[in-house]
Chain A
Amino acid sequence: MAVDQEAVVSALGTLPLTGNEEGLIPAFGLYLTRHYAAYYNDASYAYLHAAHAQGDEAVKTARSALIEAGHICAFNTFGGIMVSQEWEAVLGPMLDSRDDWVHGIVAVINALGWGKWRVDSLTANEELRVSIANTYESTGYLASHGQSEVGCVCFLAAGGVAGIMNLLYHGDIMSKPALSQAYYDELFRGTGAFVGEETACRAAGAERCELIARR
């Protein structure tokens, strides 16, 4: 059975993901926030631009650090969602195969306010290609800085696509493992881990942001 993207987005929209009496949003084993895209963008790109003023090594460090934050997000948020009861209830009936889980988590991402993600191709255990019509990162960059002269800027998305593949084809999130630091290290720092790369970016003039995850 194919994943019904609209049904998933609609179902997740009914979850009470707003602050409780303590002003917190506990869900999926996490504390969520409904945060400001402009905050992430302004802070991240101030860091990126400062690195560009310092030279190539600083740029490499900054890009790597921003993508690493995306890995941490993917591991804990996507991982937390995929082991949750809500995942089982909403997505479970639509999932027949491991590949379906990829389409399922992309459907969930489309409910997070991150823009419109689309799986362009998936080769099991080898490669995932995703394109995004409107990442909040490229949208924010264009609004604040105009066309990018520093290359692609969707670091969260790059970390995210790698995270999807690492959770499903390097690790085995379907067996509901504990999302520990040791498991993170195994999936993202060990040999054979998937790495995300943005090959085209709206902020740098492309029509859509295009990302590839491969080993």
Chain B
Amino acid sequence: MTVDVQFDAEANVATCGGESLVFHCHYYNCALHKAIEDGMGPDAAAVLQSSAARVIERQIRALSAGRAEVEELFSTLGFGKLNLSSLNADGGEAVIHGSHYAMGWTALHGDRETPVCLFPAGFIQGAVSAMRDLPLDRIKVAESRCYAAGAGDCRFKVEVL
């Protein structure tokens, strides 16, 4: 699959799978993430992950995308290299090499104690939910190690409940 982004030159709006796509850089992505973490404290993680999961689930369902297409979409949009190949019916481990969020955070703020890849975790949750045709709350995704917290790559434990 080649990721097909449609640009409406009259409205200056880009869409893919029914979702509006906008260009933003790592400065803004990390700044918004930090603003919400600073402002919402312990509630922020669920907000950031679930916000990602909802939009990705809708999009992957609309695209009827499988694993290879999901991985291609993730990298085409600039989020890093996602590998879902070790997932099975019960879940497993997803891996991201060169996570945009983790590398961006480290470049701007240095290492942190907790994982930062909440958007990617939500992306994986939404994608697995759509691919398995299960509701979002049946898919649990948690980042177990993160480049921004000193690991070599970013790994996510995926559970199908």
Stretch from B7-15, B86-94, B135-143, B146-154 forming part of the interface with A: B7-15
Expressed in whole angstroms, the Cα–Cα distance for A36 and B74 within the complex equals: 11
- CB within 8 Å for A50 and B20 given contacts A31-B26, A33-B77: no
Inter-chain contact B55/A139, CB cutoff 8 Å? no
Expressed in whole angstroms, the Cα–Cα distance for A18 and B77 within the complex equals: 6
- CB within 8 Å for A23 and B80 given contacts A38-B19, A43-B48, A111-B12: yes
Contacts of B14 in A (CB 8 A): 34, 113
Contacts of B35 in A (CB 8 A): 47, 65-66, 68-69
Q: How far is the CB of A151 from chain B (nearest CB, A)?
A: 17
Expressed in whole angstroms, the Cα–Cα distance for A69 and B33 within the complex equals: 9
Inter-chain contact A65/B39, CB cutoff 8 Å? yes
Inter-chain contact B29/A33, CB cutoff 8 Å? yes
Contacts of A156 in B (CB 8 A): 28
Inter-chain contact A19/B23, CB cutoff 8 Å? no
Expressed in whole angstroms, the Cα–Cα distance for A172 and B21 within the complex equals: 31
Contacts of A39 in B (CB 8 A): 51-52, 55, 119, 122
Inter-chain contact B11/A35, CB cutoff 8 Å? no
State which residues 72-104 of A face B: CB under 8 Å: 72-73, 75-77, 80
Inter-chain contact B98/A73, CB cutoff 8 Å? no
Q: Which residue of A lies closest to B16 (CB)?
A: A34
Inter-chain contact B104/A31, CB cutoff 8 Å? yes
**B31 interfacial by beta-carbon distance below 8 Å:** yes
A6, A112, A113 — most chain B CB neighbours (10 Å): A113
Judged by DSSP, the binding face of B is: helix
Expressed in whole angstroms, the Cα–Cα distance for A111 and B80 within the complex equals: 23
Inter-chain contact B55/A38, CB cutoff 8 Å? yes
Expressed in whole angstroms, the Cα–Cα distance for A6 and B10 within the complex equals: 10
Q: How far is the CB of B51 from chain A (nearest CB, A)?
A: 4
**A17 interfacial by beta-carbon distance below 8 Å:** yes
Q: How far is the CB of A37 from chain B (nearest CB, A)?
A: 4
Expressed in whole angstroms, the Cα–Cα distance for A19 and B35 within the complex equals: 26
B3, B11, B32, B44 — most chain A CB neighbours (10 Å): B32
Please encode chain A, from 117 to 148, with 1 for each CB lying within 8 Å of some chain B CB and 0 for all others: 10000000000000001101001100000000
**A116 interfacial by beta-carbon distance below 8 Å:** yes
Contacts of A35 in B (CB 8 A): 21-24, 29, 77
Please encode chain A, from 1 to 40, with 1 for each CB lying within 8 Å of some chain B CB and 0 for all others: 0000010011001000111001111001011111111111
Please encode chain B, from 102 to 129, with 1 for each CB lying within 8 Å of some chain A CB and 0 for all others: 0110000000000000010010000000
Inter-chain contact B25/A112, CB cutoff 8 Å? no
* Inter-chain pairs besides A24-B78, A65-B35, 4 sampled, C-beta below 8 Å: A36-B52, A39-B55, A47-B44, A113-B7
Closest 6 A-B residue pairs measured CB to CB? A23-B75, A42-B51, A73-B28, A25-B78, A113-B14, A30-B25
B residues sitting closer than 8 Å to A (CB atoms) are: 3, 5, 7, 9-14, 19-29, 31-32, 35-36, 38-40, 43-44, 47-48, 50-52, 54-56, 59, 74-82, 97-98, 100, 103-104, 119, 122
